[in-house]
Amino acid sequence: MLNFDYQNKTRIVFGKDTHKQIGSLIKPFTSKVLLHYGSGSIKKNGIYDDVIRSLKEQSIEFIELGGVKPNPRLSLIHEGIDLCRKEKIGFILAVGGGSVIDSAKAIAMGVPYDGDVWDFFAAGKHPDTVLPVATVLTIPATGSESSIRSVISDEKTQRKLGYGDEKIRPVVSVINPEIYFSLPDFQIACGVCDMMSHIMERYFTNTTHTDLIDGLSESTMKTIMKNGLILKRDHTNYDAWAEVAFSGTLAHNGFLNLGREQDWACHAMEHEMSAIYDVAHAAGLTVVTPAWMKYVYQTNLPMFVQFAVNVMGVEGSFRDQEWIALEGIRRLEDFYSRMEMPLSMKEIDIDSENFELMAKKATGFAFGKENKIGGLKKLTWEDVLAIYQLADR
């Protein structure tokens, strides 16, 4: 186990009707907020009205900025930064899923900064100060409600990059499983598979003696899969949503990577896919993850055997280690299929034309200096190209 230093300032308020408390929860921080949201679905399902009522009850002034899209755009973030400066706003309230929260975090970094907020994502800059952010989570998936991460896309350069900093963890996040009852099948499936990926990026490691975090990770993955399949049948199962929503937060709040080297190659590869083709992030992950596993599993065969046995329920003799590992990957693909998620580049309309470009961008080779990606196995751009080709079936 490696050394670690962990803290998490996010207050999680979980349960029925908790979103109606948001005004009183943020009142100690501010009397004026930027209310940031997505396409407007919160106005159809009543969440918007509940949030506005709660803000008004606490005499909190609000300025609205909607329009966040999946793979949140830098252009809207620039608009939010300008709006906060003009209106002298010092607090961001994000009501939405991961894209809305990531956009809010980027705005929070950009308002006090003299340069372009993209500097944090592309140029290695770090903010001295950020605006506080609170969230009402409407789509459990990314774990951004309690994480140090923000991922945004620059439409002009077709780059999708992430940034992490303790300063951008939300100060308070509300998670009400009742809100998720109206989510469509595809969003449920994307959320579930995104959570799984966040754990697997941490789980597959060469670090040894991590039994506790291994076990917690395995239990969380099994919980997600079990309850994800329940939600495919019954969108209004509160208990299943509670399990999935809490798992999504745990999957990405940093706790499950304590004491271990992480990987994140699949996310790096997928970011280049969705930057060019604007595919749903989780859909890209279900395509590239099994291909990555097939390419790297022999690097640490015991780790993939452990995954197959403890998470995917594979049984076999000690002599069948390679078969067990491959059967675990096959069962993961089967789970993705049961969730009706894609497994090939063709299913998400990505052809081989840009494979080499994406591989070189993922590793930085296209920008003059290659930085191998991944932790379990360090991948060159040629390795990434081979994985893309393996997923092109």
What is the model's pLDDT at position 317?
Answer: 75
Task: Note whether 370 and 364 are within 8 A (CB).
Answer: yes
Mean pLDDT of 41-69: 96
Mean pLDDT of 341-364: 97
Q: Are strands 159-164 and 149-154 parallel, antiparallel or unpaired?
A: antiparallel
CATH architecture assignment, domain 11-179: 3-Layer(aba) Sandwich (3.40)
Element (H, E) at 152: strand 149-154
Element (H, E) at 65: strand 61-65
| Three-point CA angle 14, 17, 23, nearest 5° | 85
Q: Where along the chain do its domains lie?
A: 11-179, 186-390
Mean pLDDT of 140-165: 96
Mean pLDDT of 237-242: 98
Domain 186-390 fold is Dehydroquinate synthase-like, alpha domain (1.20.1090)
Residue for token pair 């407007």: 40
Handedness of CA 74, 75, 76, 78 (dihedral sign): positive
Angstrom distance (rounded) from CA 215 to CA 110: 39
pLDDT band at 347 (very low <50, low <70, confident <90, very high): very high
Mean pLDDT of 228-239: 97
What is the model's pLDDT at position 208?
Answer: 97
- 103-144 pLDDT, tens digit per residue, is 999 999 999 999 999 999 999 999 999 999 999 999 999 999
Retrieve residue 91's tokens. Answer: 């607090």
Q: Does the structure show a pLDDT above 90 at 343?
A: yes
Q: Does the structure show a pLDDT above 80 at 319?
A: no
Average pLDDT over the chain, rounded to an integer: 97
Q: Does the structure show a pLDDT above 90 at 40?
A: no
Mean pLDDT of 221-248: 98
Angstrom distance (rounded) from CA 154 to CA 160: 6
pLDDT band at 35 (very low <50, low <70, confident <90, very high): very high
Q: Does the structure show a pLDDT above 90 at 316?
A: no
CB within 8 Å of 317: residues ≥ 6 apart: none
pLDDT band at 379 (very low <50, low <70, confident <90, very high): very high
